[in-house]
Amino acid sequence: MARPVLQPVAVVVAGRLARTALVLLGAATLVFLVVRLVPGDPAVSILGDQASPEQLAALRERMGLDLPLGEQYGRFLSEIADGSLGTPLGSASPGVTVRSRILDVLPFTIELALTAVLVASLIALPLGILAALRRRSLADSLSLAATLVGLAMPTFWLGPLLIYLLCVHWPLLPDPASGVTGWTSLVLPACILGLALSARLTRMVRSSVLDVLREPYVAAAYARGLPHLRVIVRHVLRNALVPVVTVLGLQFAALLSGALVTEKVFARPGIGTLLIDAVARRDYALVQGTTLFIGVVYVLVNLCVDVAYLFVDPRIARGSRREGA
């Protein structure tokens, strides 16, 4: 069994950085191998069965698929290194790269994800705290039932239903089909995405508050005669919400892919729509680049959360949070 070894935080951070670099290289390699080695000829897939052998050969040459695998890999890595992530299919102007396409739509996805996180927090924090403080009460059971429903609810089902009810039947919000932009068009997708996230978050808040309530310092605070509200706010919530905030950070990154389906339902521009459109047009470079981009953002946010946690709670650096080591 590993013995707890005291290490300076800087050493731990350096270790994490090295590990993250390896994971990123692994992720890029995985994407490369999946696209090259899984059966199926991209050229045939793009041009269709009727394409002439000359057309296929020309496309393979343009996509670099005729090169040896090692050379393709080198080219792939250099496109990541220079940040362009490749050239999307049928882009006539030289300035258009996968990166520029991603950056064009990224603000829309970030806007949606941030609003969804806000919605989720507004639901999950009060609900989770209430459920934990009134354990085994009606409120607790209801919040449990609500989270079960929320976790099972497909956003691509709730979306069309709510669009019909709130945009068509009772036109309270703009119909996504009408092409209206502005904050009103953000309300419904953010609520639907936020609702899905709030289910997981409510459980997290509840169990985190319950954990802290069992800590001796909470009993000590009560023993010192502090008022209930003060104990809850100053002692319980302040400590219970630290892990919740880190989970929120990770969820934000995961939302980049969670927004995928929601963006399609609401016909909103964003990373998800970009990826799905690229899938439909069989644009290999764009699918590959967007997938990798989401992966990289996710891994980097993970790293930031991990490192931030090290500074909040240096005990973790000594490995005491790791599997009972």
Positions that interact with other proteins (CB under 8 A): 1, 19, 22-24, 26-27, 30-31, 34-35, 38-40, 44-45, 148-149, 151-154, 156-161, 163-164, 168, 253-254, 256-258, 260-261, 264-265, 275-276, 279-280, 287-288, 291, 294-296, 298-299, 323-325
Yes or no: say if 220 and 81 are a contact pair by the CB < 8 Å rule: no
In which residue are the tokens 């989401």 written?
294
* Residue 36: CB minimum distance to other proteins, A: 9
Nearer to other proteins, 115 or 155 (CB): 155
Provide the token pair at 275: 């990826």
Nearer to other proteins, 220 or 267 (CB): 267
Yes or no: say if 176 and 163 are a contact pair by the CB < 8 Å rule: yes
* Residue 90: CB minimum distance to other proteins, A: 18
Residue 3 has φ and ψ, to the nearest 5°, of -90, 145
Nearer to other proteins, 243 or 272 (CB): 272
Yes or no: say if 243 and 252 are a contact pair by the CB < 8 Å rule: no
* Residue 125: CB minimum distance to other proteins, A: 22
* Residue 99: CB minimum distance to other proteins, A: 18
Nearer to other proteins, 120 or 232 (CB): 120
Nearer to other proteins, 26 or 107 (CB): 26
Nearer to other proteins, 142 or 279 (CB): 279
Give the separation between CA 160 and CA 94, rounded to whole angstroms. Answer: 39
Element containing residue 202 per DSSP (H, E): helix 184-213
* Residue 117: CB minimum distance to other proteins, A: 15
Q: What is the SS3 assignment for 230-297?
A: HHHHHHHHHHHHHHHHHHHHHHHHHHHHHHHHHHHHCCCCCHHHHHHHHHHCCCHHHHHHHHHHHHHH
Residues 50, 55, 57, 58, CA torsion sign: negative
* Residue 164: CB minimum distance to other proteins, A: 6
CB atoms within 10 A of CB 184: 11
* Residue 156: CB minimum distance to other proteins, A: 5
Side chain identity, residue 5: V
* Residue 273: CB minimum distance to other proteins, A: 10
Residues 241, 244, 250, 251, CA torsion sign: negative
Nearer to other proteins, 231 or 253 (CB): 253
Torsion of CA 278, 280, 285, 287, to 10 degrees: 60
Q: At what angle do helices 284-312 and 238-265 cross, to 10 degrees?
A: 170
Side chain identity, residue 148: L
Nearer to other proteins, 112 or 158 (CB): 158
Nearer to other proteins, 157 or 217 (CB): 157
Give the separation between CA 77 and CA 74, rounded to whole angstroms. Answer: 5
* Residue 120: CB minimum distance to other proteins, A: 16
Provide the token pair at 257: 């892919």
